[in-house]
Structure formats: structure tokens, C-alpha cells
Structure 1
Amino acid sequence: MAAGATIHTFDLTISDVDRGVYESVNLRAARHPSETEQFLVTRVLAYALEYVEGIAFSEGISTTKNEPAVLVRDATGSITVWIEIGAPDAERLHFGSKLADRTVVYTHRDPAKVAALWAGKKIHDGERIELRSFDPGFIDDVAGALGRRRELTVSLIESRVYVELDGQSFSSELHSQPAL
């Protein structure tokens, strides 16, 4: 964990009807001083929406390892899902797509502008990479309610995300498109 990181603890309840995933986990997320609240919220939502056995946050920018913000490892330790947040560069996506069976990007930014960054770039299996985003303002609204210790429920029903954060409710369509 990086010096100066702020720890956020979530009592997270996941109800992903679309995938049939129902879990309750105590999730600790270290927020580096250079990380925005929007990036943190997107990272936590990506964790919840991709939740499977073996999912974890990487060590982030406090390490020299070349890993995404969130990843899934199988029982052998191999990375099976590479999950980036924000607007990673094409080189990172190329690397992750070659390493993992599945690569997905969750962004809190305008997805058209994010995808434009990758246009014409060499990205392994770029057409298989998913770019996921939320309705404008959704991440900002959730970030505005963010605190260091929170009860968080994330539900996904027919591609609609419902978030309850300490009694405040938010919802958004989960938009998904090919990265290229």
C-alpha cells in the first residue's frame, strides 16, 4: 500500500441477477493521493460487477508490477481477466489482452473519447475487449456520497446498475461496447 493512501472499507453486497452472482464481502480499497474519487468509485463498481472467485485489486501504482487496477486469477495464479479503469493506453490493453482470456475497461469518462484514444493502434484482440461505461453524472453522484466506511449494495438487473450507499440510491444503465 502506498504511503499516504486513504483506506475505504465497504460492507459490499452484490446482487448480479444478470450473471446469477450473489455475495457479501468486506472490501478494503486503498485510494492513492493521486487517485480521484471517480476513479475509486469506478474501480469498486468494476470489482462488484465482475465479481468471481479470484478477483482482487492489484497493488496499483505503488508497485512496479505491470497489472491492471482489478484482476482475476485462477487457482494456478494466472491472470484470467484483465480489468482496467479509466482510459488506459493502447500498449497496456495490448499487453493485458495477450496475457488474459478476457480484457475489459470500465470508464468514468466519455466512452467515445476513450475509444478514440485507441483508434488505429495495435491492440491484440482489440475487437474482443469490452468498454463499459455509465450514464453521465452517475459516477460523480456516487463519488459525492463516498466516505471511508460505508454500506454498499450493487445490483445489476437487465444491464441496469443500482447502487445503494448508506441509504442513498443511484442507478445507471451499464453501457457496453467493443473497444475497437
Structure 2
Amino acid sequence: MALKSTIYKTTIHLSDMDRHYYDTLNLTIAQHPSETMLRMSARILAYILNADPALVFGKGVSDEDEPALWAQTLTEEVTLWIELGQPDEKRIKRASNKAEAMIIYGYHSPFDVWWQQQEKKLTLLKNVQIERFDYQALAEFSTLIERTTEIQASIQDGQLWLTIGEKSLLIEHQTLQSIRQ
């Protein structure tokens, strides 16, 4: 018998002052049996940082043809493709050719080694942005996620502040490569 996904319901009260985007997001997140809490937490953070009515969770772990998150137009053109971790070069090239923009969020220590190995190749791709979450902040955030969680999220001057219950934390993220026009 196959293991089933664990369902999490998260309400996010988002104030993104940098993009002038304010919304209450009611997310239902399926955690694949092979997905760690750390990766699922990174998906939530990527969603918060890129919140948009068109942004949806992809099948990600269970489907090679879909990313962790993506946004499409009504004509199914991919405007944003978001990957987590350390995708292989073939996957990055395929996704960057399909999408107007691609963002890769790294979130654990082997990511630095991966980035050193991939940097020269990825700088050739103009529509690919590389971000790295602070591992300690992400790990702390992942311990606060429950099956039903309410989050206050505030983004200003590139800083992401989260409040869950009585706990507030700053989620640091560093841009290693920006999308070039």
C-alpha cells in the first residue's frame, strides 16, 4: 500500500510592501511522503516571496515535468517556474526555455557546493535567478509548521519577517544571481 501525502492548511496574512501586494492566502499543501519538513517549509517561503493569484504548487517531487511552484497565463504559457534544492543542469535548461523566468531556492549546506559547480553555466541563462535561504532560519520555521498554521508575513526592503503564534523570526535569503533583462 502506497503512503499518502500529509495535508497542511496554512493561512498567510501577507503584507509585501516591496511589491505593494497585500492578501490573505489560504493554502492547502500536500507533503509528499518522501518530502522533508525542511523542503515543504522552503516551498511555503517561496510561495510567500512570489505570491500572485496565478501562482500554484506543482506536483514537484512526484512529477518530473512540474516544478515545486509555477505561474501560468490563461493560455498556459509559463511565466514563472520555481525549483527548490539543487536541480540538475538539464532540468534547469529545460525549465528556463519553457518559462519567462525561473527561480531556484537553495536551502541546505550542500547547496553552496552545488552553486560553486554550477555558477559559470547558470550565469549564461539570463532568465534564471538563484536564491539561498538561511538554513538556520528555515530549520526554525519548519519546526513551527503544524497541520493548521496561521502566519503573519511581512516583506519590506527585501526582508521577510514571519510571526507564528508568539514567535517572530527573520528569514534571511541571499540573491546569488539575478534575472537580467
- Please report the TM-score for the alignment, with normalisation by the length of structure 1: 0.89
SS at match of 2:39: helix
Shift of 1:166: 2.7
Residues 102-133 of structure 1, C-alpha deviations (whole Å, 9 max, x = no match): 01011212453231242455x59524411112
| Alignment-derived partner of residue 95 in structure 2 | 96
Structure-2 residue corresponding to 1:167:
166
Partner of 2:154: 155
Deviation of 1:50 (Å) = 0.5
For 2:120 and 2:176, locate their aligned partners in 1 and report how far apart those are by CA, in whole Å: 17
TM-score (norm 2): 0.88
Q: Over residues 80-116 of structure 1, what are the superposed CA-to-partner deviations in whole Å (9 max), with x where a residue is unaligned?
A: 1010011111111111100101010112124532312
- The runs of 4+ residues in structure 1 deviating greater than 4 Å are none
Q: Does 1:21 align with 2:21?
A: yes
Give how far 1:170 is off: 0.9
Does structure 2 conserve the Cα–Cα contact (< 8 Å) formed by 1:128 and 1:178? Answer: no
Q: Identity of aligned pairs, percent? A: 27
Give aligned pairs, total: 177
In structure 1, list runs of 5 or more residues that go unmatched: none
Query: What CA distance in whole angstroms lies between the structure 2 residues aligned with 1:72 and 1:125?
Result: 23
Match of 1:84 in 2: 83
SS, match of residue 153 in structure 2: strand
Instruction: Give the RMSD, CA atoms, in angstroms.
Output: 2.2
Q: Mind listing any 5+ residue stretches in structure 2 that lack a counterpart?
A: none
Name the aligned partner's letter for residue 103 of structure 2: V
162-171 or 109-118, which moves further after superposition? Answer: 109-118
Aligned partner of residue 95 in structure 1, secondary structure? helix
